[in-house]
Structure 1
Amino acid sequence: MQTMTISPAADALDIGDETLAGHERVLFCRDDESGLRAIIAIHDTTLGPGLGGTRFKAYPSDQDALHDVLRLSRGMTSKNAAAGLPFGGAKAVIIGDPRTAKTPELLRAYGRFVDSLEGRYVTAADLGTNSDDLDVIGEVTTHVTGRTAAAGGSGDSGPATALGVFSAMRAGAERQWDEGLKGRVVGVEGAGKVGGVLTRLLLDAGATVVVADPDPAARERVSAATGGAVQLAETLTGPELDVYAPCALGATVTVERARSFGARLVCGAANNQLPTPHEDAALHAAGILWVPDYVANAGGVIHLAGAERLRRSPEEVTADVRRIGDTAREILTRSAESGIPTGAAADEVVAARLAAARA
């Protein structure tokens, strides 16, 4: 049996200590036959349908899952607005261990919930899901992006995410040191599909790269792909780094951690990098330049939206991704001229674009 609970759009519905106020719709989805338990959060559709990935993860509690999807969906509103895309913010989480719980039946059940929203939410891949999974979801809904090329999609968006982070990082280096990344020591935290591509781009730019990941196999894959040109570590240590690039889980960026690495620039692919909003001002006061995560990591959604929804050519999509560097420069300049933290400057850009759309 499939069941779905929809939160009131305008009410402040509390579940534990988490409020749903500010979200247009939050759906709690369950399919007993497949074992599916999922939450779809639509934050803001001012600019268009909510576009954001589906995270498949074993959460400690349902409260943790709810907290994650609410933060992620808010971030997608900011990401899509900052990138200039005609899409709003939404995200979903499937609760469970993807290594054991993921089945075609479960993915199809989830796809039917997505389809029931009639286009208000367009899903994509995230942690724990990939293009093959999206092919299965796409069997029951058209509101999906990032399927394999064989299924009519544009494939893995990881390389585009990495290119966007690289473009933003180069803009940050120009602001912090009046030069590019050549000769800088960059610590990449996370040797997944984004971190691996980012590492190769950094090496091509003349940077020295330290790649950290707790998984030895992941580290070795990056080492093999780069001909052993990187330094490998289980965790990042300092103080030899110039740049800290968080490309794994969020909530890892603090002033204390950046200082322990010696990093003066923070720019990476992870979502929700700051554990609290107060870290934005703290980083600014410490002279550590942070390129806001939702600006730097927008390459993936630009790729998916451009290639599959806006029907742009591969060359046009790549150019759009590279323009993340220009967006980063605009925000860093606003921060410097106004004397405000970079996150606050990015939020001002997003707020202006949303206000213009509402008007």
Structure 2
Amino acid sequence: MEGKIFEYLEKYNYENLYFFNDNQTGIKGVICIHDTTLGPATGGCRMWTYANEWDAIEDALRLGRGMTYKYAAAGVELGGGKAVIIGDPKTQKSEALFRSFGRFLNRLNGTYITGQDVGTTLRDMETIRLETPYVVTLPREFGGAGEISPYTALSTFQSMKACAKEKLGTDSLKDVSVSVQGVGSVGYHLVKLLADEGANITIADIDEKRVKEVSEEFHTRTAKVDEIDSLEVEIFSPCALGKVINDQSLTRLKCQIVAGSANNQLTEERHGDHLDEMGILYAPDYIANSGGTIFDTDRIKPGGFNQERGINSVKRVYETMTELIAISKNESIPTYKAADLLAERRISSVGKAKQLRRQFDVLT
């Protein structure tokens, strides 16, 4: 993408790309707004140490577009966007930095709503909220849904079950072998759900102490980070960073299903084609990991946050995954294309309905 920003924006029909900078606080980053047909662009605020500025821009663009499709496919009345702050979340955070981000966000007047993401916390969201109301991920005492990682894990779990129904003939994961790559906040909760179901679990993470703790708590097997994707299992679950499905990993996979919570698992779209050709059923990442945002954004609905309604909405990811598997089979396309098609059809139909409504309002 380097040097061809407008070509990339045109190819995927982005609406806006904003850059922000504040010399006083040292903050610098970007906000991507992909599509607002269904509602205001919404997506997390990520803080990360990128190798260069182009990597940060590309990450925001890819993640923002993914949020559009995630909300559309999940039936949520929101568009997609993403914020990226360039910096080390372990050493460069400050109240001034996040308040500066909040002031910039407030200038967009609700076109983009932010939330927690990699490198940011609920406490950071509280600080941003001091400068702007356009923050969706908040603690319960602030009227938010609180910690959302258990619900991201729940939607990943539901996607696994739908895929297992298709490939294994049952949606029970009892005795099913699952390898989980990454046992951070989402991976941990996914392992808990799998353990409760009676799955045979193997885990790996770059944090060896974390692996030991999770393995001891749930009695799992462990593997090295560079071996976890080559295990002979029924389900491989990437729950760390993206681009895990690539030319190299495709030669190592010995699974029937890929279903995890990581964003942008396919390094390129053609890798989704290769999975399909190999007979591996892929649960598109923005479907599998949509539970956190579905649960989190329940507070935007009339009447405010309702936990039971939010959980039930997350559980319906099983139905969404089942639907896109049917589209994939009926139209002879890989599941990642079926997921895009499902989302695009909803955006198109809602867009037409809104256009008709505007025309009616003009006439009346």
Alignment equivalent of 2:222, drawn from 232, 242, 265: 232
Contact 2:143 2:305 in 1 (8 A): no
Is 1:17 matched with 2:4? yes
Alignment equivalent of 1:197, drawn from 189, 196, 209: 189
Output the amino acid matched with 1:80: Y
Partner residue, 1:133: 124
Displacement of 1:237: 4.9
Change (3 A) 1:255 1:264: farther
Matches within 5 A, 1:208-227: 208-226=200-218
Contact 1:31 1:109 in 2 (8 A): yes
Contact 1:38 1:110 in 2 (8 A): no
**Matched residue of 1:34: which SS?**
coil
Partner residue, 1:5: none
Which deviates the most, 144-153 or 241-250? 144-153
State TM-score, norm by structure 2. Answer: 0.91
Contact 2:99 2:131 in 1 (8 A): yes
Contact 1:237 1:260 in 2 (8 A): yes
Contact 2:145 2:305 in 1 (8 A): no
Displacement of 1:27: 0.7
Change (3 A) 1:55 1:309: farther
Output the amino acid matched with 1:285: E
Structure 2 residues without counterparts, runs of 5 or longer = 353-364
Change (3 A) 1:106 1:177: same
Structure 1 residues without counterparts, runs of 5 or longer = 1-13
- Number of residues of Structure 1 aligned to a counterpart in Structure 2: 344
**Matched residue of 1:262: which SS?**
coil
Partner residue, 2:324: 331
Partner residue, 2:166: 175
Change (3 A) 1:131 1:224: farther
Whole-Å separation in 2 of the counterparts to 1:255 and 1:186 = 22
Change (3 A) 1:59 1:168: same
Contact 1:244 1:258 in 2 (8 A): no
Whole-Å separation in 1 of the counterparts to 2:75 and 2:156 = 17
Output the amino acid matched with 1:116: R
Alignment equivalent of 1:30, drawn from 21, 44, 67: 21
**Matched residue of 2:138: which SS?**
coil
Displacement of 1:241: 1.5
Whole-Å separation in 2 of the counterparts to 1:313 and 1:144 = 17
Change (3 A) 1:45 1:142: same
Whole-Å separation in 2 of the counterparts to 1:348 and 1:103 = 41
Displacement of 1:233: 2.5
Change (3 A) 1:308 1:211: farther
Contact 2:247 2:271 in 1 (8 A): yes
Displacement of 1:335: 0.9
Is 1:103 matched with 2:103? no
Output the amino acid matched with 1:18: I
Whole-Å separation in 1 of the counterparts to 2:338 and 2:123 = 38
Alignment equivalent of 2:56, drawn from 61, 65, 73: 65
Is 1:152 matched with 2:129? no
Alignment equivalent of 2:249, drawn from 249, 257, 273: 257
Partner residue, 2:42: 51
Partner residue, 1:356: 349
Partner residue, 1:288: 280
CA deviation profile, 1:56-111 (whole Å, cap 9, x unmatched): 00101001100110000010000010010000000010001011111110000001
Partner residue, 1:39: 30
Whole-Å separation in 2 of the counterparts to 1:224 and 1:281 = 38
Output the amino acid matched with 2:266: L
User: What value does the CA root-mean-square deviation take over the aligned residues?
Assistant: 1.5
**Matched residue of 2:104: which SS?**
helix
Structure with the higher helix share, 1 or 2? 2
Partner residue, 1:301: 293
Which deviates the most, 14-23 or 140-149? 14-23
Contact 1:266 1:290 in 2 (8 A): yes
Partner residue, 2:309: 316
Contact 1:241 1:261 in 2 (8 A): no
| Percentage of identical aligned residues | 38
**Matched residue of 1:46: which SS?**
coil
Displacement of 1:223: 2.6
State TM-score, norm by structure 1. Answer: 0.92
